[in-house]
Structure 1
Amino acid sequence: MPDHVGSLLLLLCLLQVKHMFADFFLQTPRMLSGRGAYLHLGRAQHATVHFAGSVIALLIMAAPLVFLLTICIIEWIIHFHIDYGKAKYNERKCLTPTQSLFWWAMGTDQALHQLTYVAMGWAWCAFVLS
């Protein structure tokens, strides 16, 4: 396997593990409540957990500092807004986990996060590995 392919796959695996911890294991009640408000401190904290996890993943990959900070700031902004969109939709529709639309929103949210990691992988290949 070419080195660049292995590097990309390792980065994507690190981002997956980071995502599992940040989106599921490390959420606090503050992060989960009142998410329909745009300026929500809990959502900002949650996005910051993702930021920190991505920093760790990219440090493991020995990413250049400018790349690391740029991509993690962009991810923070995107993650914050994806989660806001899901929260606002769930709130507007009064959705609960017993309704299928809740899970559609959850699946869309998770797919958008995964596509963010694909974009980060593209940036890794385009700006670091090239």
Structure 2
Amino acid sequence: MKTEEILLPATIGTVLILLCLFQVKHMLADFFLQTPRMLSGRCKYWHLGRAQHAGVHAAGSVVVFLLAGSPLVFILVSVALEWLVHFNIDYGKAFYSDQKELQPNQAKYWYAMGFDQFLHQLTYLAMTWAWVSFAF
């Protein structure tokens, strides 16, 4: 058996664990750890609550990457980019929802929510790809 064949299952397992940790982090940061400040006034671009919310996500990703044994420079660059991307994804959803005056009883509200979550999931796939490609 070649060395690559022995290491491959562990690598796939590690990637799946990393993705799972990002999912847990996302659920906590996007739903359970939102404060009233984070939830109000979101239609303005520069919004302290949105910056804090993106910061909670970034802090959670620091924990995930530390658990994965990632180098500090990789962590700092990755979470800074995540903060920027998360901030702007959430602004896009908030701006669109505000302009359309969307409410939870409207299908477009859920389309916006679903697209927002989809973009966040793509972010985690990109972060995991970056981890596999550049962290070590």
- TM (norm. structure 1) is 0.97
The correspondence for 1:76, drawn from 83, 95, 99, is: 83
1:15 aligns with: 22
The correspondence for 1:38, drawn from 45, 51, 67, is: 45
The correspondence for 1:125, drawn from 111, 129, 132, is: 132
Point out which structure has higher relative CO (alpha carbons under 8 A, 6+ apart): 1
Which deviates more from structure 2 when the two are superposed, residues 120-129 or residues 96-105?
120-129
Looking at structure 2, the residues matched to 114 and 101 of structure 1 have their Cα atoms a distance apart, in angstroms, of 20
Runs of 5+ unmatched residues, structure 2: 1-7
Looking at structure 2, the residues matched to 67 and 126 of structure 1 have their Cα atoms a distance apart, in angstroms, of 11
Larger Rg belongs to = 2
The correspondence for 1:98, drawn from 84, 101, 105, is: 105
The correspondence for 2:68, drawn from 48, 61, 64, is: 61
Looking at structure 2, the residues matched to 4 and 85 of structure 1 have their Cα atoms a distance apart, in angstroms, of 35
Percent sequence identity over matched residues?
Answer: 62
- Three-state SS of the structure 1 residue aligned to 2:46 is coil
AA matched with 1:94? E
Looking at structure 2, the residues matched to 27 and 37 of structure 1 have their Cα atoms a distance apart, in angstroms, of 17
AA matched with 1:81? N
2:115 aligns with: 108
Q: CA deviation at 1:128?
A: 2.2
Q: CA deviation at 1:99?
A: 0.5
Runs of 5+ unmatched residues, structure 1: none
Number of residue pairs aligned between Structure 1 and Structure 2: 129
